[in-house]
Amino acid sequence: MQPPSNRQSDIELANLRRQHQLILNSVVEGIYGLDLQGNVTFVNPAAASIIGWEMKALIGKSMHAVLHHSHSDGTHYPREKCPIYAAFQDGTVRKVDDEVFWRKDGTSFPVEYISTPMHDETGQLVGSVVTFRDISQRKLNESILQRANEELEQRVQERTSELIKANEQLKELNQARSRFVSMVCHEFRNPLNNIAFSVSSLKRYERQLSNLQKIEYLSDVEINIERMTQMTDDLLVIGKIETEKIEIEPKNLDLVKFCQELVAEFQETHLNHQIQFHSDRQQLEIEIDYRLLRSILINILANSVRYSQKDRLIQFNLSLSSDYIILSIEDRGMGISPQDLHNIFEPFYRGKNVSNIPGTGLGLNIVKRFSNLLGSKIDIISQVNQGTKVNIQIPH
Ligand SMILES: Nc1ncnc2c1ncn2[C@@H]1O[C@H](COP(=O)(O)OP(=O)(O)OP(=O)(O)O)[C@@H](O)[C@H]1O
Ligand SMILES: [Mg+2]
């Protein structure tokens, strides 16, 4: 028979064991103990169930061989390199969350584990306790979050570069606008100065001037007013295009008839030049905004007349290619130099050879803008003192 005190301590020990057992049984983390050889000394139900083993079957087994034998890519994981093993070699705690454990069925799962060295009452290292949990869900959430972050980052980058681009375009547009405004002011100053000069001469020399001289001054005023009116009208058109106030209204028309009528009408007010129209076809139905087309053709015809001597023939041709209708207007006039040709569509730009032929340099700019609105292309071929040919390609 044992003395009462020993019995008491046995009971206490048994209670303690039961309590430990209860704790081990109730936690959701897997927990197992290893001896110094790395063999299982105890294992809780959660550990066995996470890796798909029977609890009993694990006791005495090398746990490294059971659940830690390979890396996530399937390559061999030598036991000597395993942190769990290292924990009871050097007696320090290891916490790892970037490895996998393997189930009995050959599948693996991402794991987080802590290997804590175990000592006996004398302080002797006797093995380790490993606590682990399956962190598949956490890793999945992390990867979803990471993907979402990357997508967000990508979108932010795209949006930022779009904004930078839009900002640059806006800056360029603003610069172009202020350049345009100063050009307009400059162009208006000339005729205004001329008018001011004529008016002040008329005032100052009223008595000395003959009637003929006075009429000359007055007609100079008239010419300059006309120039400013023309410029104002052109600027209004450009303003309308820029603010997209011009609505394109395509309508069906017979292009051959349209050109013939336009030439006849134009010829009436330009009797000094002969305009010859030729078309490959008798009739050509197209859908187009005739107001824009009319303005384009009138501007080009007006240039042909303005920049060639009278009696020089102007040829206006209509032909068809597989994709385009080509309208070409060719004169035998003063031509445009290669340098001028380069800038010819810029507002207020005029060739160096125009001398005193009047003009504002806005016509071709409007032609270009209108032609863009119609989806057509304009190109000019020219040779100084030989002539100029303007081609308009209208998609068909
Ligand atoms: N057929 C042409 N022959 C020679 N030069 C031309 C011809 N067409 C245009 N040009 C040159 O191109 C310049 C720009 O032409 P644009 O029609 O834009 O302006 P403009 O004729 O000077 O004035 P406007 O605004 O009244 O038309 C002209 O000043 C001229 O130097
Ligand atoms: Mg012109």
Q: How many A from CA of 304 to the centre of ligand 2?
A: 9
Looking from the CA of residue 365, the nearest atom of ligand 1 is: 18
Q: What is the CA radius of gyration of the chain?
A: 47
Distance 366 CA to ligand 2 centre (A): 10
Kindly give the distance from the C-alpha atom of residue 217 to the centroid of ligand 2, in angstroms, as a whole number: 26
- Would you say how long the chain is, in residues? 396
**For the CA of 336, the nearest ligand:** 1
Q: What angle do CA 171, 342, 331 make, to 5 degrees?
A: 135
The residue whose CB lies within 8 Å of the most ligand 1 atoms, and thus the one to mutate among 233, 273, 303, is 303
The answer to whether residues 302 and 269 touch, using CB atoms and an 8 Å cutoff, is no
Burial 36-62 (b: 16+ CB within 10 A, else e): eebbbbbbbebbbebbebeeeebeeee
Residue of the nearest CA to atom 7 in ligand 1?
303
Q: Are 352 and 307 in contact (CB under 8 A)?
A: no
> Which ligand gives the minimal distance to the CA of 308?
1
> Residue 2 has what pLDDT?
52
Taking the C-alpha atoms of residue 158 and residue 130, their distance in angstroms, rounded to an integer, is 47
* Backbone dihedral angles phi then psi of residue 55, each to the nearest 5 degrees: -55, -45
CA separation (Å) from 70 to 52, 53, 75, 343? 17, 18, 5, 73
Ligand 1 geometric centre to CA of 302 (Å): 9
Measured distance CA(365)–CA(13) in Å, rounded: 102
Long-range Cβ pairs for the range 366-369 (8 Å, 24+): 366/234, 366/237, 366/238, 366/241, 366/295, 366/299, 367/295, 367/296, 367/299, 367/300, 369/238, 369/241
SS3 for 175-196, per residue? Answer: HHHHHHHHHHHHHHHHHHHHHH
190: number of Cβ within 10 Å = 12
Nearest to 64 by CA among 41, 84, 49: 84
For the CA of 354, the closest atom of ligand 1 is: 31
Task: Give ∠ CA 293-296-298 in degrees, rounded to 5.
Answer: 105
> What confidence score (pLDDT) does residue 245 get?
82
Atom of ligand 1 nearest to the CA of 334: 4
pLDDT for 4: 54
Alpha-helix runs per DSSP H in 27-126: 45-51, 55-58, 63-67, 83-90
Cα(373)–Cα(367) distance, rounded to whole angstroms?
10
User: How remote is the CA of residue 306 from the centroid of ligand 1, in Å?
Assistant: 8
3-state secondary structure at position 316: strand
What is the number of other CB atoms lying within 10 angstroms of the CB of residue 73?
A: 6
The amino acid at residue 252 is: N
Q: Which of 312, 364, 366 to mutate to test the pocket of ligand 1 (most atoms within 8 A of CB)?
A: 364
d(CA 87, CA 121) in angstroms, rounded, equals 19
Interval between CA 382 and ligand 2 midpoint (Å): 15
Q: Is 387 left (phi over 0), alpha (psi -120 to 50) or beta?
A: left
The pLDDT score that the predictor gives to residue 90 is 86
320 CA from centroid of ligand 1 (Å): 27
Residues in contact with ligand 1 (CB, 6 Å cut-off) = 234, 299, 303-304, 306-307, 331, 333-336, 344, 349-351, 354, 359-365, 388
pTM greater than 0.85 (yes/no): no
Domains defined along the chain, listed by start: 4-134 (3.30.450.20), 136-245 (1.10.287.130), 247-395 (3.30.565.10)
CA separation for the pair 145, 54 (Å, rounded): 36
Mean pLDDT in runs of 10 for the chain (396 residues)? 68 88 90 95 96 97 96 95 88 94 97 95 93 95 95 96 96 87 88 95 95 96 93 89 86 97 94 95 95 95 96 95 95 97 94 92 94 96 97 94
Sheet holding 30-35, edge to edge: 40-43, 30-35, 125-134, 108-119, 94-102
CA 41 to chain centre: 64
- What ligand has the least distance to the C-alpha of 234? 1
279 pairs with which residues across the strands?
Answer: 318
User: Distance (Å, rounded) from C-alpha 305 to C-alpha 387?
Assistant: 11
